[in-house]
Structure formats: C-alpha cells, structure tokens
Amino acid sequence: HIRAAFLSAIGPDYMPRRCLALVLRAASILALSATLACAHAVEIGEVVVRSYIGQPLVADIELTGFSPDGGVVEAKLAHPDVFQGANIGMHPVLSKLRMSVMKRDGRQFLHMTSIAPVQTQYVHLFLDLADGSRRSVLAASLPLVADPRPAPPASPAPRQGNAQSAA
C-alpha cells in the first residue's frame, strides 16, 4: 500500500532514471580519471643548494612527473612578466644563470650555476618547464645559508718601522 502510493507520487520510471544517472556519473568520473592519469605534468621535487651566501650559486632541483617515455624536460626561466605579476623582483643573479637538465639514476635534475656570488638568504625564481607538448610555470625558492666553515681572515702583515732603542 505504501509502496504503491510512493511509486504513484514519483512515477513508475523514477528508479530506472536514478540508476541511469548513477551509471552516467560513474562513467564520467572514470573517463576523467583516465584522462588525468595520462596527463603527466612536470613538477618540482627536492631542492638542493650546494653553495653558501657570498658564493656563486650552485643548485639542483629534481624534476618529477615527466612523461615516462624518457624524453628530457626543457627548462628556462619564466618571462619577466611572470615575476612582475607575482610582485617578486628578479634576483640580479638570474640575469646570467646557467641551467641544464641532467639525468642521473633514471631521474632528471635541473642544475643551475651562476658566475656572480649570491648575497641574500633566498633566490626566488619561476621556471618554465616543458615536457613534449605540455608546458607549465612553477615557482621555486632556493635557500642559502652562511658558510659553516668560512675561510680564515688574512693575517695582517707585520709592521715594518724604525725601532728606537731606549738608551
């Protein structure tokens, strides 16, 4: 009696429509997840800075999420407009930064070096990374610390002067 009243209120084909909606929703979620699984995007992994404040920059950034076909990721600094849009000034050392992508143990790293010494605790940068037809712009911060074993200061030369003897 209650079931008959419920079905007359919602219509006899309510249950099939609801099941069809669930099937369509599940199919679209599966299709989307399959698309996302195929869409690899290059990401930034571990950042290792090998230099100290007052020294030329030497740093490696691991690149992850690249296409498994073994292609090399292309990397360059993002356009200066990206820095301006983020309200971050381009560090002076970035104007002559050397970058190269290297492979080690099946992993890819972005190796960066500079000629000029870095005098700040951080170098903020935006990287334009490309893997095949996919391109992304990612931010990275390179932390620098003071050298824990600085070179000893030069000892002053002995003073040469006329020694007057007391008589």
Rg over CA atoms, the chain: 31
- How many other C-beta atoms lie within 10 A of the C-beta of residue 70? 9
C-alpha 126/C-alpha 88 separation (Å) is: 10
Q: CA 110 to CA 126: how far, in whole Å?
A: 13
The confidence score (pLDDT) of residue 106 equals 81
The answer to whether residues 45 and 61 touch, using CB atoms and an 8 Å cutoff, is yes
Q: What is the pLDDT along the chain (167 residues), one digit of tens a residue?
A: 555 554 455 455 544 555 444 434 544 443 443 333 344 578 889 999 999 999 999 999 999 887 666 677 889 999 999 999 999 999 999 999 999 999 888 888 999 999 999 999 999 999 999 887 788 899 999 999 999 888 777 777 677 655 555 54
pLDDT computed for residue 75 by the predictor: 92
Q: Which of 115, 63, 121 is nearest to 94 (CA)?
A: 115
Report residue 31 CA to chain centroid gap: 29
Q: What pLDDT was estimated at residue 42?
A: 80
Nearest alpha-carbon partner for 66 in 139, 134, 16? 134
**β pairing state of 134-143 and 98-104:** unpaired
CA separation for the pair 31, 36 (Å, rounded): 9
